[in-house]
Amino acid sequence: MRVILVPVANRPECTNALKVAFKLANKLGASLSGCHIRAHSYSNVGLPDTSESKAAAAKKDKQLAKNGAAAKKLFTQIAEGVDYPLVKKPSTKPGAYWFEKVGSPDKMLSILGPMADLIVVSRPTSKKEKPALAFMLAALLNSSRPVLVLPKSRKSEVGRRISIAWNQSAEAAQAVAAAMPLLQAADAVNIITCGPDAGGGPNATQLANYLKFWGVKTTRSKTKGNKDVKEILQAYEDFDSDLLVMGAYSRSRLRQLIFGGVTEYMLRQANIPVFMLHS
């Protein structure tokens, strides 16, 4: 991984996401791109050209500019706090690169996301937090890149002890491949399976053998497969994990995706860091 992208706003969850992302970037020798994505100011098209409408637009523009400046200040302070060099243009050397874009999360992350190796976002804690939810779903559904979804509770570091939720699917295999730099840098890796390896894809033993080619040694946690979510989380805790790697599974391929049960729970309710890739 050479480029980690973090959408940034001047909010507490972004502070946590940036600190975690910078530690990952330092471990992997990667650059970190911080981007503030702001909405378009209100358009006056079709409205009377009055002083009131102009004043409202000017006020909106001023607030958006203020938000962008605050986001940049946060990014700069955290980068300087961890001695990450601020750079004005991309380079082969690791650095902290800042930029701003105007547009919706869907549109911008479909453009910016594919040009990063990993996107780091925060998990919304409630349905009312629409901006956080919009950025999380846009990163997962529109970027075609792996996404690290962080809980809002403070995490100083992730990726030291990694668990893989393995169900023999192509999505899980793609997530493992995308997470390989993290798996190689981890202190310990555990493979979690729920129920028997009876699917059509590679079983847990084959996954373990594959990872050995990459220098990744693994242990394994087998569960009964009666309650997948509960069993995965228990195995995760028993291993003292700080990151779960899994594929993002959906019931529909339409744009308005409805995620499957395990994915939905891990995204919306589980208070753990999750590395996902939706293809």
- Give the pLDDT confidence of 243-266 residue by residue, as tens digits: 999 987 655 443 334 455 787 788
Residue 253 belongs to domain with CATH number: 3.40.50.620
Instruction: State whether 54 and 175 are in the same domain.
Output: no
Residue at a domain's end among 150, 173, 196? 150
Residue 103 has what DSSP assignment?
A: S
Mean pLDDT, the chain, rounded, equals 87
Residue at a domain's end among 122, 150, 178? 150
What average pLDDT does the segment 183-200 reach? 92
The answer to which of 40-54, 56-70, 191-205 has the lowest mean pLDDT is 40-54
pLDDT at 254: 37
- Helix (H) / strand (E) element for 4: namely strand 3-7
For residue 190, which of 234, 244, 113, 269 has the smallest C-alpha distance? 244
Angstrom distances, CA of residue 56 to CA of 51, 193, 198: 9, 56, 62
**d(Cα 170, Cα 176) in Å, to the nearest integer?**
10
Cβ pair 215, 180 in contact under 8 A: no
Instruction: State whether 177 and 115 are in the same domain.
Output: no
Beta bridge partners of 99: 35
**Report field, pTM of the whole predicted structure over 0.85:** yes
Q: Is the pLDDT of residue 88 over 70?
A: yes
134-166 pLDDT, tens digit per residue, is: 888 899 989 999 999 998 776 678 999 999 999
Burial of 122 (0-12, 13-18, 19+ CB in 10 A): buried
If you average pLDDT over each of 96-105, 123-132, 148-157, 249-258, which comes out highest? 96-105
**d(Cα 110, Cα 230) in Å, to the nearest integer?**
33
Q: Is the pLDDT of residue 206 over 90?
A: yes
**d(Cα 79, Cα 163) in Å, to the nearest integer?**
29
Domain span including residue 66: 3-150
Comparison of pLDDT for 55 and 240, the residue scoring more: 240
**d(Cα 181, Cα 203) in Å, to the nearest integer?**
22
Q: Is the pLDDT of residue 13 over 90?
A: no
For residue 192, which of 228, 161, 166 has the smallest C-alpha distance? 166
**d(Cα 69, Cα 72) in Å, to the nearest integer?**
5
Banded model confidence at residue 48, pLDDT cuts 50, 70, 90: low
Query: Is residue 155 in a domain?
Result: no
Query: Is residue 156 in a domain?
Result: no
Give the chain's domain count: 2
Q: Is 20 left (phi over 0), alpha (psi -120 to 50) or beta?
A: alpha
Instruction: State whether 127 and 69 are in the same domain.
Output: yes
Banded model confidence at residue 73, pLDDT cuts 50, 70, 90: very high
